Amino acid sequence: MSINRKPIVVGNWKMNLSLSEATGLAYELSEQLEDIAGVDIDVGIAPSTPFLSIIAAICDESAIGISAQHMSAHLSGAHTGESSVQQLLDVGCQYVILGHSERRHVYGESDEQIAQCARLAHDLGLIPILCVGETLQQREANQTLDVVLKQVSSAFSQLTADEASRSICAYEPVWAIGTGHTASPEQAQEVHAAIRKHLSELYSVAIADSVRLQYGGSVKPENAEGLMSQPDIDGALVGGASLKVNSFNSIVQITSKLISQT
């Protein structure tokens, strides 16, 4: 992890938690992370869409940022069930997760849709967390870098250098999401280093060095130190472990401690 990049840990709650559970978790995290969030490390949480405004209000006095899990590639109109970038801003979001593997592989989102969403996010001031990652079949066929770098190229294709530098990119190997399997620190670092090199080719070394790269895929306190200590990993996009106060807090504390030692 580079001292020049502020680490960021975001908890993706997915379609979990009742309203009472979500509000309770938000209150506890706000209290436990009061002295660290926003100072040594950026922290965000991504509740389910119906709870966004409620959780944003709870976290308003804290430095915990609010992220949406998804947004429409359209500004407005007849798009039943979708949320526009302006609507997400109106309810208090600072971030939006785009291109998560579940959105790609279950709901059929294309590279083009994700690129358009990234464009709209920056147009209105929402920070995109751009997710990329390969399936198990692609990894076994030695296609990891081809797949991931193609996704990176597309996700950043409509962004200026300045916008790219303010974006976040999350490498989430599909085979490690929700499976209990995690890429080894060495495997994760290899892909993160390739992403950063690719960004330097798309923009410049300076821009590539400013982009924060997260790892996601069964991140938990037990493996966080090994992953977060890698030079090109700047934080985590956390799934299941973000649903418990102690485990998410531990990952944030571990990540912050590592950056303070560099």
Q: Is 253 within a domain?
A: no
* 153 has a pLDDT exceeding 60: yes
The answer to whether 21 is a known catalytic residue is no
pLDDT digits (tens, 9 = 90+) for 204-262: 999 999 999 999 999 999 999 999 999 999 999 999 999 999 999 999 999 998 876 65
Q: What is the DSSP letter of 233?
A: -
Q: Is 252 within a domain?
A: no
**pLDDT at residue number 260:** 60
Query: Catalytic: which of 102, 134, 163, 172?
Result: 172
Q: Is 52 within a domain?
A: yes
Q: Is 249 within a domain?
A: no
Q: Is 258 within a domain?
A: no
* 10 has a pLDDT exceeding 80: yes
Q: What is the CATH number of the domain that holds 218?
A: 3.20.20.70
Q: Is 31 within a domain?
A: yes
pLDDT digits (tens, 9 = 90+) for 95-136: 999 999 999 999 999 999 999 999 999 999 999 999 999 999
Instruction: Give the integer Cα–Cα distance in Å for 144 and 149.
Output: 8
Query: Alpha helix (H) ranges present in the chain?
Result: 19-32, 52-58, 85-90, 101-105, 111-124, 136-140, 144-155, 161-165, 185-202, 205-210, 221-228, 245-260
Residue percentage of the chain with pLDDT more than 90? 89
**pLDDT at residue number 4:** 78
* 2 has a pLDDT exceeding 60: no
Q: What is the mean pLDDT of the chain?
A: 95
* 156 has a pLDDT exceeding 70: yes
pTM of the shown model: 0.96
Q: Is 92 within a domain?
A: yes
Instruction: Give the integer Cα–Cα distance in Å for 5 and 35.
Output: 19
Instruction: Give the integer Cα–Cα distance in Å for 214 and 224.
Output: 12
Query: Catalytic: which of 100, 122, 192, 198?
Result: 100
In this prediction, residues 21-41 reach a mean pLDDT of 93
**pLDDT at residue number 262:** 58
* 155 has a pLDDT exceeding 60: yes
**pLDDT at residue number 261:** 65
Count: domains in the chain: 1
Q: Is 3 within a domain?
A: no
* 165 has a pLDDT exceeding 90: yes
**pLDDT at residue number 179:** 76
Residue-number span of the structural domain to which 65 is assigned: 8-244
